Amino acid sequence: MQHISELINSDTPKTTYKGSEKTYEDVKAQIKERYGDAEAERYDPYLLARTFRQWLKIGYRVRKGEKALQSTTLVEKRNEKGELIRTYPKKISLFLDTQVEKVV
């Protein structure tokens, strides 16, 4: 059986990760605590950690009983002209590629 990370390639849509070093380190620390150093070193926020819906969108589902990793993203609120009104943090739940399975 192929590992999911082998199936995810350059054609797979990237996540909405915006490059925050703090977010990266926070999620990586959770992975290290839960799964160990090897998984933490393998972590790629652009491909291997996605929300429930993002996994569904590319044909995978989170296995029953899996617990999410907690993260935060910044949401930009814009007016009808597209001008930025405010930015605020929003908590999100992420799942690693090791927590999902292909939808049959």
For every residue of 36-53, DSSP letters joined together read -HHHHHH--TTTTEE-HH
**pLDDT, the chain, mean:** 88
Candidate from 3-12, 45-54, 81-90 with smallest mean pLDDT: 3-12
What per-residue confidence (pLDDT) applies to 2? Answer: 47
Distance CA 25, CA 42 (A): 13
**pLDDT tens digits, one per residue of 38-72:** 999 999 998 899 999 999 999 999 999 999 999 99
More confident residue, 40 or 3: 40
Between residues 57 and 15, the one the model is more confident about: 57
Q: What is the pLDDT of residue 9?
A: 57
The number of C-alpha atoms within 13 Å of 7 and in the hemisphere containing its C-beta is: 13
Q: What are φ and ψ of residue 66, in 5° steps?
A: -70, 140
Q: Would the pTM count as exceeding 0.85?
A: no
Neighbours of 65 (CB within 10 A): 6
Q: What is the pLDDT of residue 61?
A: 96
